[in-house]
Each structure stands twice: as C-alpha cells, then as structure tokens.
Amino acid sequence: MAAKLIKTNTPGIYRRHSRDCARGPRCDCAYVIVWRHRGKQHTSTFRTLAEAREAKGQKDAGDRRPVSRVSVQDYFEAWIESYSGRTARGFAEKSRTLYRRSIELYALREWATWRLSEVEPADVRGVFARLRASGTSTSELRQLRAALSAMFATAVEDGRRRDNPVSGLRIPSAPKSETEVEIAKALTRQELALVLAALPEEWRLFFEFLAHTGLRISEAIGVTWAHLDLGKKPRVRVREQVYEGERQALKSRSSRRDIPLAPVMAERLRAVRRDRYRNELSPVFVTVAGTELSRANVASRILKPAASGIGLEWVSFHTFRHTCASLLFAAGKNVKQVQEWLGHADPAFTLRTYVHLLDEGLGEADFLDDVITSDPVRVNDGSTEPPQLAANALSEPVLEIAR
C-alpha cells in the first residue's frame, strides 16, 4: 500500500514520506502533484519542490495529459511495427528495417528501461557525441537521427510526450579524415577513358550512361524502356529507383527529372532496344542472363576489378556522377542547370559539393580594357562617335559580361 500523501504549504502539492522517514522539513522524500484529466485522477512524482511547482504550473496552464509511464523499449516495439510514415508517400519496409536496426543498435543500449517521457535533448546529444567519438559514420548518424525523430514525433502525436527531443539536433562534426574522404572526386577525361577501356566490353555502355546522365546507381538500375524517349529529342525520364533489390518511388520531387541524351548515346540505346527489348517495364540494363542488376554484384565483379587494375581503386559508382557534374561545368552549364540535371533539391548544395571542381584561378584581365577605361581617347579610338556617346555605350558590354 502506497504511503499517505501529506499536504504541503503549496496547494495541490504533497509529500510522500517513506516509512522510516522522521518527516522533517529537510527529508529526501518525494513531492507529488495531483490533478484530473478526462474524469480520472492522476499523480506525478518529483524529486524536488521546484520540479513539482513547475509541473503544477504546466497543469494549471492547461497541459493536463498524464505523463506516459511506458518505457522506451516497449513504445519502440509497438511503434516500429505500426509506423506508416508521416507523408502521403507512406513508409517502405526497407526503411522500417533500417530504422529498427539504428534504434536497437545505438539508442536502446542506453534508454531501453527509461520512461519514454524521460529522454531529454541533452540525452540525445550525448548519444550522438559518444557515437561520433567512437567512429560512427555520418551516414549512420543521419539514419539514427531520422529514425529517432520519427519515433518521438509519433509519441508527441500520441500524447505520450510533450515535445520531440530530437528536434533541431545537429550531428557532431566529422573528423578531418572523414571529411576528406567525402569530398567529391571526379575522373579527368583521360582517367574516364582508361576506366571505360578497362571494363568488359558488354558493360561499357552502362558506365558511359552513368557518366552521361549523372544518375545515382539506384536510379540507373531502375530505368526501364518506358522511361526512355529515343525520338527527335531523346531523353531519360527519371521516375523510379531500385534500392536493395526493391523498386520504389524517388525520395524527393527534385529527384524526378528529365535528362537530355546526346545523339550518339541515343543511337546506341536504340541498338540495345532492337536486341534486348522485351516490354516497356523491363529494365534497360540487365545482367548477361537478363536479370535485374545488383549494385553489390556489379561493384565487386565489374567495377572494382577494372578500376583497381589501372590503379584507380577509389573509383565508385558515385564517381561517375561527380564526373558528370565536372563535365557539365566544363561545358559551361551554370549551377542551377547542374542542380536540375543531377536532381539536387538546392543549388546551394550543388555549389558546396562541386565548387572545388570549378576552374581555379582568376584568368587574364585583358578583356576589361575593352569595356572599362578612364581614357576617352582610348574609348573612341577608331570610332566616329562623340566621346560622351562612346562612354554611354559602355553599359552594353558590361551587360554582356553579366549574362
């Protein structure tokens, strides 16, 4: 039987003394607040009078939902089975597997027996700081943040928590070594030619297609004949992706895009269609046996042996995407055009990722002599126009430079 509640000088706040307590004013016994919600009486226990007063103030202000007593472990197990996503796109079963793995591996180790309501922002930051210090990768931390944010957001909707402790969390900075690894590295034209020449002949078109389109490997594997328009204005419509063997929708609206195809690439794809076409929904690129490509198999059996054989062990599928960006910039495409070509959500991200690939140096300044000078004689050299008219004409070349 629970100990009797004893009134304090603050209305609505009580003390629950232990049996062996002398009930002095400075004992360590708990403080309890009592309130009603939906016709039922509820109580909450606190270590100090200050905490009890703060909680009572929240109740008096209208927040009368009882604090959940469910543990993180119990809530997680129920949530992960029923979670259906927070957007109209729903929630892929592959994502459910990844969310389960991240939370079980990194969060439940510390919080399994905690009450769901006890996890605070400082606790979440502490977990991320310890994981970063132990060498956990940025991609793993992002996955964990997404999983925890979804779980706690659902708990808020369920009335099990008042806030989401993951909201606004910043992932700790990566060690210098990891940052260096993540810098986008593109192939030069000579290196690209070497890699393509080292590949088995039947695989060259696939990797040329990657460098031409800049598609993510999951998007390239997902291209079907229905996605290719090989008419007068050939292009590939990026609409689906294949991730871990599962065909699914693209992750964002910006990923949905149409990419133009050069005439030679289009002609080679027409030749493939004449030889391999089965139906509109069949993949464009398949194995020798005609089955859908496996990212892991193509990497380990085709790309890595070819790249390692010519001393370019660092080459990955994403290298062809970076190479496409480099070629686009070299051809004079601007950041906005490259952003849309690659399917980035924000041109600022494109610029941050590829600014080091842009041509370095300021170049020569000779051309400025033709448009900027304080010498009216030089401005009018070889011209029959009055000095003032010639000076006014400066605005037109300046606009040309801006364009």
Amino acid at position 15, single letter: R
Least Cα distance to 137 among 174, 180, 103 occurs for 174
pLDDT-based confidence at residue 146 (cuts at 50, 70, 90): very high
Buried b (16+ CB within 10 A) or exposed e, 201-225: eebbbbbbbbbbbbbbbbbbbbbbb
* pLDDT at position 282: 92
Least confident interval from 260-264, 288-292, 328-332 = 288-292
The 10s digit of each residue's pLDDT in 62-72 is 655 555 678 99
Bridge partners, residue 242, by sequence:
247
Contact present, 114 and 70 (Cβ < 8 Å): no
For the domain covering 72-180, report its CATH number: 1.10.150.130
Contact present, 109 and 126 (Cβ < 8 Å): no
Q: Where are the domains of the chain?
A: 5-60, 72-180, 189-357, 366-402
Q: What is the mean pLDDT of residues 357-380?
A: 55
Contact present, 52 and 74 (Cβ < 8 Å): no
Strand order in the sheet with 228-229: 228-229, 235-238, 257-260
Q: What DSSP state is assigned to residue 238?
A: E
- Cα(165)–Cα(99) distance, integer angstroms: 17
- Cα(31)–Cα(297) distance, integer angstroms: 62
CATH topology of domain 189-357: hpI Integrase; Chain A (1.10.443)
Query: Is residue 394 predicted with pLDDT exceeding 50?
Result: no
Token pair for residue 188? 């030069």
Detail the DSSP E strand segments found in 230-342: 235-238, 240-243, 246-249, 257-260
Strands 228-229 and 246-249: unpaired
Q: What is the mean pLDDT of residues 20-30?
A: 77
Q: Which long-range contacts (CB under 8 A, 24 or more apart) does 141-146 make?
A: 141/171, 141/172, 142/171, 143/98, 143/99, 143/102, 144/102, 144/103, 144/106, 144/107, 145/169, 145/171, 146/99
Three-point CA angle 130, 135, 138, nearest 5°: 90
Q: What is the DSSP string of 9-47?
A: SSTTEEEE--TT----TT--PEEEEEEEETTEEEEEEES
The three-state secondary structure class of 69 is coil
Angle at which helices 204-213 and 189-198 cross, to 10° = 150
Residue 10: C-alpha distances to residues 6, 13, 15, 52 (Å): 11, 6, 11, 10
**What is the number of residues in the chain?**
403
Buried b (16+ CB within 10 A) or exposed e, 80-119: beebeeeeeeeeeeebbebbbebbbebbbeebeeebbbeb
pLDDT-based confidence at residue 393 (cuts at 50, 70, 90): very low
Least confident interval from 38-47, 72-81, 184-193, 376-385 = 376-385
- Cα(196)–Cα(185) distance, integer angstroms: 17
Entry pTM: 0.56
Query: Is residue 299 predicted with pLDDT exceeding 90?
Result: yes
Q: Give the contacts of 55 (CB within 8 A, at least 6 positions apart).
A: 33, 44, 46
* pLDDT at position 401: 33
